[in-house]
Structure 1
Amino acid sequence: MVYRLLFILLATFSLLFSVHAKAEKLDEILLASEEWQRATLSDGTGLYWDIFRYVYEPAGIKVKTLTFPYETAVSYVQRGRADAWLASYLNEREFALYPQWHFDAEVVSVMYNKDNHTTFEGIESLTNKQVAWITGYAYHLYIDVPMQIHELNNRKSILRMLKRGRIDYFLDAEIDIGLAKKEFYPGDKSLIIKDLIKLKLYPAFADTAKGQKFKSIWDQRMPKIYKTKKMKQLFKQWEFDYPFDDKI
């Protein structure tokens, strides 16, 4: 009876150790992101997915991708269900681990409706105004004026609010705000888009042992590959501006 109990205990310990070891193996990284045109398509293609493959696959780590609304992607990392999300601004969330190296930079644009007698002369124009963006984008961390903030889950709803005068400004990435206008209000000359700020984009890693290791690999690999012909070709292939003319 004692030997049988000892055998069961040893078998259980062996199984638990095996599961733990498998969980800690760095042979796969799970990335979560909103779907962005030419960057993080839901079929696993796009510039950002290709950059991560270039970083991790030569190190023997397979890249797996998940597509969610932005805030859901963030939540997956926070709950330990994904290893990193794209594309975060630096120090956007306190619980995440941020590397030294970014992988792209984007222009954040502002859209307003001139038919509502709204104008835009710079960041100060946003002061105490009704300003909307996609849930989770956290632009308020990088814009140093008080705003009345509205966060919505889709761009169509934000544009409808802008047209109806319920908000004064809509903030979004330059590419996405242009695509949204083209899709929902093509040819509408009342909707004006102007550049606001430029922010670097980072992977935000889970605050776990695996996340720390993936972050370290990222910062080890990026200095070796960011100026390579292959990296520059990826940006050219997906029609993005190359963001590494100057070192971080």
Structure 2
Amino acid sequence: MRLAWLKLLLCCCLLGAVLAGAGELPEGKEQAGDILLVGVERKGHTGADARGLVWEVLRLVFEPAGFQVHTSTVPYTRAVGLVARGDADAWVGAYPEETTGALFPQWHYAAEVIGALGLASSPIPRLEDLGNFRLAWIRGYAFDKYLPQLHRYQEIQRYNGALAMLRVGHADYLIAARAELESVLAWAETPDAYRITDLTLLPLYPGFADTPRGRELAALYDRRMAELVRSGELRPIFARWQQPYPFD
């Protein structure tokens, strides 16, 4: 009788250990489930076809830990909202601590050139004197947190009409990642009438929901990024996409 009770007690202990570990994210190759990453479509970075540098890096982060990575490209403010509502696990392309109520890891996954698009006839802007000009950027990017002494700026909903805004003098420069500015400039009938000036380099992070799952995903992300940088596995990915390696 005592042996039967001991067996029952042992089974209960084992079951409790299994249940206690069920909510933890695995470090091995066990199937952990799906993860949805969202972000603005950028050719060569976050493609709508799930190809690009960023998607490839993040698949290497999460898939060896047992996750199936799914991606979706949406406007930036919608990406942030999807994570805030719990409809996505993380958005990409975030600058450090740009949004309250979200969780940002310690490791960035890339860095991007921030530039200014203006008329070719305008003065060449410098980072230190941007505050002297009227600026515009996409709503949600919050460049006033990262670029010095910005006083006159407006947030716009989309890039449609951005070139006309510059042309008629409603703003002096459009601020964005160089890749986005090049896409805007591609719409111009006379591209030579405009100029892109590189200003600075900003690290890029995923933004996770500040929830138990989000905290576990962020911790896993930091652990895996440290491993990948240490092993050098990320370097050939950046070389293949012809992007500068941001961890030297």
- Short-chain TM bin: 0.7 to 0.9
Aligned length: 222
Deviation at 1:126?
Answer: 2.4
Q: Distance in 1 between matches of 2:120 and 2:234?
A: 41
Q: Secondary structure at the match of 1:48?
A: helix
RMSD, aligned CA:
2.1
Answering whether residue 117 of structure 2 is matched by residue 123 of structure 1, we say no
Q: Secondary structure at the match of 1:240?
A: coil
Partner of residue 143 from structure 1, selected from 138, 141, 147? 147
Aligned to 1:55: 61
Aligned to 1:165: 169
Q: Secondary structure at the match of 1:243?
A: coil
Q: How does 1:75-114 map to 2 (within 5 A)?
A: 75-114=81-120
Deviation at 1:112?
Answer: 1.7
Answering whether residue 42 of structure 2 is matched by residue 28 of structure 1, we say no
Which stretch has the larger CA shift, 139-148 or 100-109? 139-148
Q: Secondary structure at the match of 1:145?
A: coil
Query: 1:98-143 CA deviation, whole Å, 9 max, x = no partner?
Result: 111000001100122144xx31342343225321112211111112
Aligned to 1:214: 217
Q: TM-score, normalised by structure 1?
A: 0.83
Q: Distance in 2 between matches of 1:145 and 1:122?
A: 12
For the 8 Å contact 2:125–2:197, the answer to whether it is kept is no
Q: Secondary structure at the match of 1:156?
A: coil
For the 8 Å contact 2:38–2:74, the answer to whether it is kept is yes
Q: Distance in 2 between matches of 1:222 and 1:208?
A: 21
Deviation at 1:97?
Answer: 0.6
Partner of residue 192 from structure 1, selected from 192, 195, 198? 195
Aligned to 2:14: none
Q: Secondary structure at the match of 1:200?
A: strand
Q: 2:182 is aligned with what amino acid?
A: G
Deviation at 1:232?
Answer: 1.5
Residue 235 and residue 186 in structure 1: after superposition, are their counterparts in 2 closer, same or farther (change >3 A)?
farther
Q: Distance in 1 between matches of 2:230 and 2:42?
A: 24
Residue 186 and residue 234 in structure 1: after superposition, are their counterparts in 2 closer, same or farther (change >3 A)?
farther
Deviation at 1:228?
Answer: 4.0
Aligned to 2:6: none
Deviation at 1:149?
Answer: 1.9
For the 8 Å contact 2:131–2:148, the answer to whether it is kept is no
Answering whether residue 178 of structure 2 is matched by residue 178 of structure 1, we say no
Q: Percent identity?
A: 36
Which stretch has the larger CA shift, 33-42 or 234-243? 234-243
Q: Secondary structure at the match of 2:217?
A: helix
Partner of residue 49 from structure 2, selected from 35, 43, 49? 43
Gaps of at least 5 residues in structure 2 are 1-21, 26-30
Q: Distance in 1 between matches of 2:197 and 2:189?
A: 17
